[in-house]
A and B are shown apart, each in its own frame.
Chain A
Amino acid sequence: MRTERAREGRRTLGDPALLGVLAVLWLLLALFVLYPLAELLVRAFSDDGRFTLEPLLSSLADAGHRAAFVNSLVLATTVGVLGTALGLLFALTATRSGLSRHWLTALDAAALLPLVSPPFTTSIAIIFSFGPKGFISHHLLGLDNVTAYGFWSTALAETLTYFPIAYLTLRPILSAIDPNLEEMAFSLGGSRWRIFRTVTMPLCVPGFANAFLLLFAASLADFATPLILAGNSFAVLPTQAYLQITGMFDFKGGAVLSLMLLVPAIGVYLAQRRWVGRRTYVTVTGKVGQRSRSRAVSPVAAAGLAAASVAVAAVILYFYALLLYASLVVAFGANETFTLRHYHVIFTEGLPAIRDTLVIALIGMPLGGLYGVLVGWLIARRRFPGRQAMEVVSMINYALPGTIVGIAYLMAFNDPPLALTGGVMIIVACYVFRYSPTGIRATVALLQQIDRSIEEASASLGAGTVQTFRRVTLPLIAPAFFAGLGVVFIRSMTAISATIFLVSLSWTLITVRILENMTELALGPAAAFSVFVIVVVFAVVACLSAVLRRLRTPTAGAAAQSLLGG
């Protein structure tokens, strides 16, 4: 189809409007994706304009840095395994336990809570529970001199924060396995456990691999949790890179440390392409019809699954209740008199951070939504030179750990002619290019479901390209637009790993204020800020879900998923 593609490419390039859009997009991608990354690499590997591996070698020679590298991998592996197991537990409960719909909705809500929370939520709750004055360690068990810091508390917090990703990955796979398949095996006389081992689980293997890799990458990139919980004894790469830059003003060292993070990140990417890819064994027939409750899980096992999931959900809800409680008392663990003081603090002293965060989120939201839909549409429906390159480049900032992106932006935009640091646009740009890929992928996925003949039908009925886009394509990809908006907003409210390098005296963020409160041991305001963010994010998610439901297009459901999955 080469001549065909070339001809379509020529047709596209003959369209001045499209050509203009492409030029602008490439300019932006070059500026905000390629240039910072190039700048980071150049800084890390050059000295006085000469190429050198010296900073890398000296970093590798540093026992502390090597330990941080190993610690990062150990933590990510632990979180990957534990999180996949928890995700499987929830997915099995959702699809096989036969729990009533109300219970499942409640479980879903509890499981998805961590995905839309600011980054320190679980960490704060763990300190409140297991710290020196912790609710469990001190009040219930009467222990003193315990420490809530270190490897296991970090792993626990990250597992509870990220296991919903595994849940969202595994649930559709488990629910798409035709119950007939399990029942057929059952009718052949296999025991339930045997069927589970030999039929159900093998069908999920690609899902396990995918869930593990997603969790591994999330843990690897997590900056906030280890910063609070890991303590000095368990250093990991993102926090080391941050401390290198903010504590020692060693930009080159920070750059090299963040690049050490790139190695496992690329490994994960390659592993995903190699082993997961599009390989799903799921048997989608579209003809399941009346889904009988799978009898492949025995009543005892079903009860066990349900009980375990409810227990995990209870832990999560307990953490959030603790957070709410701590935000409403004078000093948790010491003076538990009811007060609104902390909320007063965040709405007076903390007001600039709230205002800045909302302004940034509200600027980034429409830009990110539009950018996502536009790039997604171009990738899925237009043929033009460099299309695949655009697809890859637009994903880079999303795939890279936030620490790398933050340090790269800091280096690229700190000096003239592009001295953008300190301003608001740099933070907005960071969010748009880092979090819009969810919108891009949602748009591409929706357009792949929409047969081209629908657009041809519109043309045959007399509508031109613009009219077809407005009357048919746009309404059908509107769900992706709103999902893209939602993700950019949620992340603008909750992200910290990249933007902590970009905040300034004039522009700051709620998440950064929470971190400051934590380091000043002002846990009350930190809890109040967290509650505020959770409430706002939930309100926005609820509004967007209502919008998506009202759109009533057949594609809305899938888009609502990506709202949380992103």
Chain B
Amino acid sequence: MAAIELSGVSKRFDHTVKGEVYAVRDVSLSVAEGELLTLLGPSGCGKSTTLRMIAGFEEPDAGRISIGGTDVTRVLPNRRGIGFVFQNYALFPHLTIFENVAYGLRVQGKGEAEIGRAVAEVLSLVGLASYERQQPHQLSGGEQQRVALARAVVFQPRVLLFDEPLSNLDAKLRVEMREEIRALQKRIGITTVYVTHDQEEAMAISDRIAVMDRGQVVQQGTAQDLYYRPASEFVARFIGRANLVAARVRDADAVEIADGLVVRLATGRAAGTPATLVIRPEMIGLDPGDGPGRVTHRTFLGEKTDYVVELGGITLQVAATDTYRRPPIDVGQKVSLRFHPEGIHVL
């Protein structure tokens, strides 16, 4: 049984110019017990609305939401047993750190001793053991988000929901915090839905990712699935960098990407059918010499060197990670390109 199940969930808004628009359209998802699922997509794709419907802050116009096998579609947020971490932390400004974390337990009517023990435990878990008496405004952004996290897990909710929790933090802290969140989530084994627009964050933190676009889930899978086997051009472009090359199947084991340029690739498709190739920049090898390609740009980035290569009217991005042992290729130099069949995905 799935811990969280959405089936056919839709939400409409009235837009002053466009009329009625779907924020979320016919979304079906299921999250397994203890799993961390990320909703990933550009802003306005409906990921936050979906999350807020799971929390109960928004009511769906159609569809069904269940948590732990119980239909909660019309259940108020306070009866759903969810822990929610907000983008802006949403700490209670009039309460101390201790009281902020204790809030959920107090609402449940827990005893003072139990509250004290649970709060101390969770605060030390997030590394804020000595902060109990501080006020929220005395803490840094990262610390405030840790308090928000402690507050959301202390009363042992059934599911944990994150709404872009790291977007107000600076880049270095973001990486640190996402690792902490992941470690904590694994440690307590809580079912989690995480919303972000940052594909790197999504790949780093998730068991599974659901990519959303214009209110719909366009692909679900592990980070590897999405990276190596994107289901659409949108996913291919949104996750990582990709060369999308329009090609035509020539025969059983070759495709033609430009006039006279043939790549060995078994597509299993009939000769003459068009196909779009997804080729990641790091999956192309470059060899200087008298090849058909020509380097037009070069950018040294330390761990890799990015090249832009022109090949029979197509522009390809290439990332070379072996530049520490090979001399860089100059702009204007002719090159030949190596493609690995297993590194090419056909749409």
Q: Per-residue CB proximity of B230-273 to A under 8 Å, as 1/0? A: 00000000000000000000000000000000000000000000
- A461:B14 contact, CB within 8 angstroms: no
Q: CB of B338 within 8 A of chain A?
A: no
Contact of A464 among B13, B16, B78, B103 (CB under 8 A): B78
Which residues of B64-88 have CB atoms within 8 Å of chain A's CB atoms? 76-84, 86-88
Contacts of A344 in B (CB 8 A): none
Q: Per-residue CB proximity of A449-463 to B under 8 Å, as 1/0? A: 011011011111111
Q: CB of A552 within 8 A of chain B?
A: yes
Q: CB of B140 within 8 A of chain A?
A: no
Cα distance A218–B252 in the bound complex, in angstroms: 90
- B104:A462 contact, CB within 8 angstroms: yes
Q: CB of B152 within 8 A of chain A?
A: yes
Q: CB of A4 within 8 A of chain B?
A: yes
Contacts of A456 in B (CB 8 A): 55, 57, 77, 84, 86, 90
Q: How far is the CB of A135 from chain B (nearest CB, A)?
A: 51
Q: CB of A519 within 8 A of chain B?
A: no
Q: How far is the CB of A78 from chain B (nearest CB, A)?
A: 45
With A1-B13, A462-B107 as known contacts, state yes or no: A457 contacts B84, CB within 8 Å: yes
Q: CB of B131 within 8 A of chain A?
A: no
Residue among B59, B78, B155 with max Cβ neighbours from chain A (10 Å): B78
Contact of B14 among A3, A462, A476, A555 (CB under 8 A): A3
Q: Per-residue CB proximity of A431-461 to B under 8 Å, as 1/0? A: 0000000000000000000110110111111
Contact of A460 among B16, B78, B108 (CB under 8 A): B78
Contact of B86 among A457, A463, A552 (CB under 8 A): A457
- A460:B55 contact, CB within 8 angstroms: yes
Q: Per-residue CB proximity of B98-115 to A under 8 Å, as 1/0? A: 000001101110000000
- B86:A459 contact, CB within 8 angstroms: no
Cα distance A462–B77 in the bound complex, in angstroms: 7
With A459-B78, A476-B94 as known contacts, state yes or no: A453 contacts B88, CB within 8 Å: yes
Contacts of B86 in A (CB 8 A): 453, 456-457
Q: How far is the CB of B151 from chain A (nearest CB, A)?
A: 7
Chain B, interface size category, equals 35 or more
- A458:B103 contact, CB within 8 angstroms: yes
Contact of A552 among B91, B94, B106 (CB under 8 A): B94
Contacts of A555 in B (CB 8 A): 93
Contact of B93 among A2, A7, A554 (CB under 8 A): A554
Specify the chain B residue showing the minimal Cβ separation from A461. B104
- B77:A1 contact, CB within 8 angstroms: no
- B82:A475 contact, CB within 8 angstroms: no
Q: CB of A553 within 8 A of chain B?
A: yes
Q: How far is the CB of B48 from chain A (nearest CB, A)?
A: 11
Q: CB of A19 within 8 A of chain B?
A: no
Which residues of A1-45 have CB atoms within 8 Å of chain B's CB atoms? 1-4, 7
- A2:B14 contact, CB within 8 angstroms: yes
Cα distance A460–B81 in the bound complex, in angstroms: 7
Q: How far is the CB of B165 from chain A (nearest CB, A)?
A: 12
Q: CB of A472 within 8 A of chain B?
A: yes
Contact of A467 among B14, B56, B107 (CB under 8 A): B107
Contacts of B90 in A (CB 8 A): 451, 453-454, 456-457
21 of the cross-chain contacts (CB-CB < 8 Å) are A3-B20, A4-B13, A453-B86, A454-B93, A456-B55, A457-B84, A457-B92, A457-B148, A457-B151, A459-B76, A460-B55, A461-B152, A462-B78, A462-B104, A462-B155, A463-B78, A472-B92, A475-B94, A552-B94, A554-B94, A555-B93
A interface residues, Cβ below 8 angstroms from B: 1-4, 7, 450-451, 453-454, 456-464, 467, 471-472, 475-476, 551-555
Top 7 A-B pairs ranked by shortest CB distance? A461-B104, A460-B84, A453-B90, A459-B77, A457-B90, A553-B94, A2-B14
Extra contacts besides A456-B55, A460-B161, A463-B78 (20): CB < 8 Å: A1-B14, A3-B13, A3-B20, A453-B86, A453-B87, A453-B90, A454-B91, A454-B93, A456-B57, A457-B92, A457-B148, A461-B83, A461-B152, A462-B78, A462-B104, A462-B107, A464-B76, A552-B94, A552-B135, A554-B94
